[in-house]
């Protein structure tokens, strides 16, 4: 009764202070469908069954280890890879000397997609967004002078996971390290690639066979190695709500256990080595609660579905990375603050390792200067804040405990829905998670563009001046030429008969569903088979997977709160229709091997709602393929989304292709992660408009329409002048 009285007193005081008639009008609704009240009390904690959980014991809500950071702080990782293996090796050694405790390797997109650097489809991608790895010789250079029996290595690789993991194992062998001593993680999470990141190679079913073969091999021969990192990170980066990220990630994990047990493995033989990977965004308390909820849900679902005797089979361990999507091009030094807040949230939520993004990653690849700040952010949190002095410091918070409960309940419902469909493989094939995430992303973008969701320095509190930022620029032509020389040397010095035999054995095992594909890939890599050759041997059996791109409709404009922002767009549309007699047509293109298509899909959805006729190309197009499709669709504009630093190679090639086809009346606009220093270069080659991160979609739409109208008038006047002559 006393507590009830206290709550009533608070309501009276609050009403008096706020001069409002109803305190409940201050409830905030989150994208996850969670209602945030302005006050939580001990009454809200009544009946929460998870409150009595203990760190280190199932269901592990308060942490997987009893002592957590009081025994050992989280591992400081830096996700990095630059151009060539030798440059990356030097960067790693410098970071390790500065306090980094584990390596986290970023590979270039050519490697991710299973192409050697000399392949015609990847000339704009080699060495651009990570390190180029074509063979075990590159892998040996990458880890030269780094003892692989002592250093934990995390590798973000999914599509070409077999040759890359095989290369790491063979490089260790030739360093004199027993495979059993290797520690670290291979991402090996192919299901999320079909949802969001798209660096897949093969269809879902054979891809799942590859996952289970890796789990089988590592569980027997690499007891210290994590065979899979089940990743929600890319889901949140693609626009998923925290409930979606939580549920889809855990549902993926359940599907991987199911696949491995079908291969004859016992859950307790491999589940203790599964690990997870979550994004940490700017919703501070909810992100911390998400990690607590994840541990609880994983423990309960594994116990429910699988016969496990070892408590560690139910224990969720996770790596986290601060959000890339929260980083902004405008006022980029603000990103240091954002990353610090996100890092603190991850550690209060109990992550086992952490990567902090550099402040300049919304502009380009991180420099040594920005990477040092990102790394020191973690070191300061570990050594200067006192957060490692106690286990689960947020425990008992009325607010955090209720957020944890809400996330558990909502994610549990979504996991059950996926299980009822037949599991995540079936859900992915049906396109369910991909569609749900795209809807969420489109709604969020509408809230940002309308100013309903404030982004400091972007849609509010804008600065008049922007400080110049140094950007790391990699000449990928030089990298590619160097890689091609190394590939030629390998092929000239190896035993070709042995290589062909090993690749034939791999292909045969894939065709007949026999043997272990990782074991056979290791044999091929020992003989100096390349990443591209191993990948192609399997592609001959499984095919290279591709999906038709679909556009989400009737979401963006409905979710946009300020309808007045569309007045200028509507005026531009009206003007264009008078000139052309039809709505503007835009072809949305993703060039090269970058599969991050959130920007392109959101723009396509929003532009459709605004009044464009939108055609969206398949992923991984060459410039000539994009031009071909744009001409066939009678497009007035080609919109290029670039997120992987290939814009200075691929966009000029696209414009040159338009000229060759006498279709240079089609305008080219582009957007994404493009440094402002590169804008003039792109304008000089013929780009009509560039929309950097943070550009509102109504502004981009009206600008594009007006540019297209101007182009039509120029063409009209040109024809009139020619006729009069």
Burial environment of residue 127 by CB neighbours within 10 A (0 to 12, 13 to 18, 19 or more): buried
Measured between alpha carbons, how far apart are the two ends of the chain, in Å?
94
Report how far residue 677's alpha carbon sits from residue 656's, in angstroms, rounded to the nearest whole number: 22
> Which one is catalytic: 331, 594, 597, 609?
594
> Which one is catalytic: 128, 590, 601, 647?
590
- Of 292, 191, 182, the residue nearest 226 (C-alpha): 182
Task: For residue 611, give both structure tokens.
Answer: 């009044």
- Of 186, 179, 149, the residue nearest 519 (C-alpha): 179
Report how far residue 524's alpha carbon sits from residue 504's, in angstroms, rounded to the nearest whole number: 9
CB neighbours (10 Å) of residue 193? 23
**Sheet harboring 184-186: ordered strands across?**
225-226, 184-186, 153-155, 102-105, 75-80, 353-355, 318-322, 274-280, 228-231
**Sheet harboring 613-616: ordered strands across?**
613-616, 585-589, 637-642, 667-672, 689-691
> Which one is catalytic: 65, 69, 79, 319?
79
Q: For residue 81, report the phi and psi dihedrals to the nearest 5 degrees.
A: -170, 130
Which residues are CB-neighbours of 323 under 8 A, at least 6 positions away?
236, 237, 279, 280, 281, 282, 338, 342, 357
234 assigned to active site: yes
Strands 637-642 and 75-80: unpaired
Task: For residue 17, give both structure tokens.
Answer: 């202070």
C-alpha distances out from residue 227 to 28, 196, 213, Å: 40, 21, 10
> Which one is catalytic: 596, 601, 636, 647?
596
596 assigned to active site: yes
> Which helix (H) or strand (E) segment is 320 a member of?
strand 318-322
Which residues are CB-neighbours of 99 under 8 A, at least 6 positions away?
76, 375, 376, 379
> Which one is catalytic: 128, 140, 234, 648?
234
564 assigned to active site: no
- Cis before residue 645, ω within 30 degrees of 0? no
CB neighbours (10 Å) of residue 718? 11
542 assigned to active site: no
Report how far residue 151's alpha carbon sits from residue 101's, in angstroms, rounded to the nearest whole number: 8
DSSP at 460:
B
Long-range contacts made by residues 90-98, C-beta under 8 angstroms, separation at least 24?
91/368, 92/142, 92/146, 93/145, 93/146, 94/368, 95/371, 95/375, 96/146, 96/151, 98/372, 98/375
Q: Is 135 helix (H, G, I), strand (E, B) or coil?
A: coil
392 assigned to active site: no
CB neighbours (10 Å) of residue 478? 13
112 assigned to active site: no
> Which one is catalytic: 123, 168, 202, 233?
233
Q: Which residues partner with 154 through β-bridges?
A: 104, 185
Residues designated catalytic: 79, 233-234, 590, 594, 596
């Amino acid at each position: 009764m006393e507590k009830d009285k206290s709550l009533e007193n608070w309501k009276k005081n609050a009403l008096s202070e706020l001069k409002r008639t109803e305190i409940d009008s201050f409830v905030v609704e989150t994208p996850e469908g969670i209602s945030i009240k302005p006050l939580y009390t001990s009454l809200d904690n009544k009946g929460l069954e998870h409150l009595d959980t203990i760190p280190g014991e199932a269901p592990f809500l308060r942490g997987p280890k009893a002592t957590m950071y009081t025994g050992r702080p989280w591992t400081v990782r830096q996700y990095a890879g630059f151009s060539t293996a030798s440059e990356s090796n030097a960067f790693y050694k410098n970071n390790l000397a500065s306090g980094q405790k584990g390596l986290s390797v970023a590979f270039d997109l050519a490697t991710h997609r299973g192409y050697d650097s000399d392949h015609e489809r990847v000339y704009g991608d080699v060495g651009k967004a990570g390190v180029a790895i074509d063979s075990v010789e590159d892998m040996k250079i990458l880890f030269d002078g780094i003892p692989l029996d002592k250093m934990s290595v995390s590798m973000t690789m999914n599509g070409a996971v077999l040759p890359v993991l095989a290369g790491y194992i063979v490089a260790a062998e030739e360093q004199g390290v027993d495979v059993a001593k290797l520690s670290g993680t291979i991402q090996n999470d192919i299901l999320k690639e079909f949802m969001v990141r798209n660096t897949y190679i093969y269809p879902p079913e054979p891809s799942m066979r590859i996952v289970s073969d890796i789990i089988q091999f590592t569980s027997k021969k690499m007891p210290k190695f994590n065979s899979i990192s089940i990743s929600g990170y890319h889901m949140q980066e693609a626009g998923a709500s925290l409930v979606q990220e939580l549920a889809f990630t855990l549902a993926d994990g359940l599907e991987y256990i199911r696949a491995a047990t079908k291969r004859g493995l016992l859950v307790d033989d491999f589940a203790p080595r599964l690990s997870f990977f979550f994004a940490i965004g700017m919703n501070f308390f909810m992100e911390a609660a998400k990690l607590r909820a994840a541990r609880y849900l994983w423990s309960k679902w594994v116990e429910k579905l699988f016969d496990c005797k070892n408590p560690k089979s139910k224990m969720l361990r996770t790596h986290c990375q601060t959000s890339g999507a929260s980083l902004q091009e405008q006022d980029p030094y603000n990103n240091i603050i954002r990353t610090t807040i996100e890092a603190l949230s991850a550690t209060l939520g109990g992550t086992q390792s952490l990567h902090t993004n550099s402040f300049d990653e919304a502009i380009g690849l991180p420099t040594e200067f920005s990477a040092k700040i990102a790394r020191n952010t973690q070191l300061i949190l570990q050594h200067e804040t006192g957060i490692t002095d106690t286990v689960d410091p947020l425990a008992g918070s009325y607010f955090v405990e209720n957020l944890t409960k809400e996330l558990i309940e909502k994610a549990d419902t979504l996991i059950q829905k996926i299980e009822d469909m037949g599991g995540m493989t079936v859900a992915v094939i049906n396109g369910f998670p991909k569609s749900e995430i795209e809807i969420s992303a489109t709604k969020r973008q509408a809230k940002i563009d309308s100013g309903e969701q404030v982004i400091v320095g972007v849609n509010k509190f804008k600065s008049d001046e922007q400080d110049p930022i140094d950007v790391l620029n990699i000449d990928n032509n030089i990298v590619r030429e160097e890689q091609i020389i190394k590939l030629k040397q390998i092929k000239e010095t190896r035993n070709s008969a042995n290589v062909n035999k090993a690749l034939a054995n791999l292909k045969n095992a894939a065709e007949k569903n026999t043997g272990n594909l990782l074991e056979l890939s290791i044999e091929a890599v020992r003989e100096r088979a390349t990443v591209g050759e191993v990948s192609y041997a399997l592609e001959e059996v499984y095919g290279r997977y591709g999906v038709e791109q679909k556009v989400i409709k009737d979401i963006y404009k409905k979710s946009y709160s300020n309808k007045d922002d569309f007045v200028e767009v509507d005026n531009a549309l009206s003007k264009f229709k008078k000139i052309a007699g039809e709505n503007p047509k835009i072809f949305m293109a993703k060039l090269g091997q970058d599969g991050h298509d959130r920007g392109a899909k959101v723009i396509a959805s929003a532009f459709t709602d605004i009044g464009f006729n939108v055609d969206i190309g398949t992923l991984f197009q060459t410039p000539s393929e994009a031009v071909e499709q744009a001409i066939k669709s009678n497009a007035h504009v080609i919109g290029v989304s670039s997120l992987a630093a290939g814009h200075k190679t691929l966009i000029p090639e696209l414009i040159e292709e338009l000229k060759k086809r006498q279709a240079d009346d089609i305008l080219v606009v582009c957007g994404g992660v493009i440094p402002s220093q590169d804008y003039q270069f792109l304008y000089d080659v013929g780009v009509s408009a560039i929309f950097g991160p943070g550009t509102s979609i109504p502004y981009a739409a009206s600008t594009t329409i007006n540019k297209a109208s101007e182009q039509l008038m120029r063409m009209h006047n040109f024809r009139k002048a020619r006729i009069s002559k």
